[in-house]
């Protein structure tokens, strides 16, 4: 279960790309808080503290803003072009007794039995879009695939989920398969065979956008 991250933030009045760059140069992150029919509040947060919590999988934050506490949920994190530095973060206000929709990573644990028979595990879905209470948000959902045999197929409806967590995707979607890789060949212009390209499909979920400059 995700722990509530405690961070001290400050409200900010200067907006725009130049102001945001000055904040980042000073080791801070610009962000916004919205929701619950209240005003949007631009804030400044310490980059190192926020990055550490995000890296540990925190979704729920308790922000102390100018002496006032705000329970918020991370809605979107914008990174630089390298995907390393956080440039901006969006938070939505929440109550601890309300249900929220959020995307969390899915990790398949173990080695499938089917590998001994020449099978190869292919994971098709790496994230789950779930609904649960704010206090029940998992950092990650793990599922053992150790019992999967050759030609077995794992569907969303077969995942073992934490108590109180509901997956919002189609329950018949295929999460993973254990199959032999067959080399499909096709004669080329000079009669040479070319191996088929086998790819992996990722399942992603778009997030809410806000001020990003």
Give DSSP secondary structure letters for the chain.
-PPPEEEEEEE----SHHHHHHHHHTTEEEEEEEETTEEEEEEEEEHHHHHHHHHTT--EEEEEETTEEEEEEEEEEEE-TTS-SEEEEEEEE--TTSEEEEEEEEEEES--GGGGGT-EEEE---EEEEEEEGGG--S-EEEE-TT--TT-EEEGGG----TT-EE-S-TTSEEEEEE-----EEE-TTS-EEEPP----------------
Distances (CA, A) of 63 to 5, 10, 33, 89, 190: 8, 9, 10, 13, 66
pLDDT tens-place string over residues 52-88:
999 888 889 999 998 889 999 999 999 999 888 999 9
Which structural domain range is residue 137 located in? Answer: 101-195
Where is the domain boundary, 76, 94, 112? 94
Report d(CA 69, CA 9) in Å as an integer: 10
Torsion of CA 17, 23, 25, 26, to 10 degrees: 170
pLDDT, average across residues 189-195: 49
pLDDT, average across residues 43-57: 92
Tokens 């808080």 belong to 33
Q: Is there a single domain that holds both residue 116 and residue 39?
A: no
The total number of structural domains that make up the chain: 2
The per-residue pLDDT for 2 is 61
Where is the domain boundary, 44, 63, 94? 94
pLDDT, average across residues 116-123: 96
Q: What is the CATH number of the domain that holds 174?
A: 2.170.120.20
Share of the chain above pLDDT 70, in %: 84
Whether residue 207 is contained in a domain is answered as: no
Structure tokens at 133: 């209470």
The per-residue pLDDT for 182 is 75
Q: Is there a single domain that holds both residue 143 and residue 187?
A: yes
Compute the C-alpha angle 56/58/59, nearest 5°. 155
Q: Is there a single domain that holds both residue 47 and residue 109?
A: no
Structure tokens at 206: 């778009």
Query: Which positions ≥6 away from 83 have C-beta within 8 Å?
Result: none
The per-residue pLDDT for 57 is 84
């Amino acid at each position: 279960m995700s722990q509530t991250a405690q961070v001290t933030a400050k409200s900010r009045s200067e907006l725009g790309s130049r102001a945001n760059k000055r904040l980042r140069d000073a080791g801070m992150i610009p962000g916004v808080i919205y929701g619950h029919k209240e005003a949007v509040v631009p804030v400044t947060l310490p980059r190192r503290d926020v990055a550490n919590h995000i890296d540990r999988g925190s979704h729920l934050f308790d922000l102390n803003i100018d002496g006032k506490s705000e329970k918020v949920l991370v809605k979107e994190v914008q990174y630089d072009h390298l995907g390393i530095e956080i440039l901006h973060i969006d938070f939505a206000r929440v109550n601890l007794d309300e249900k929220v929709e959020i995307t969390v990573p899915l990790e398949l644990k173990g080695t499938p039995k089917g590998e001994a028979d020449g099978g190869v595990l292919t994971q098709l879905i790496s994230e789950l879009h779930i609904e649960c209470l704010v206090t029940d948000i998992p950092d990650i959902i793990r599922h053992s695939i150790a019992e999967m045999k050759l030609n077995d197929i794992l569907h969303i409806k077969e995942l073992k989920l934490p108590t109180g967590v509901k997956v919002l995707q189609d329950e018949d979607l295929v999460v993973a398969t254990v199959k032999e890789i067959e080399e499909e060949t096709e004669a080329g212009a000079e009669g040479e065979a070319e191996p088929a390209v086998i790819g992996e499909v990722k399942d992603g979920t778009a997030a809410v956008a806000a001020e990003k400059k």
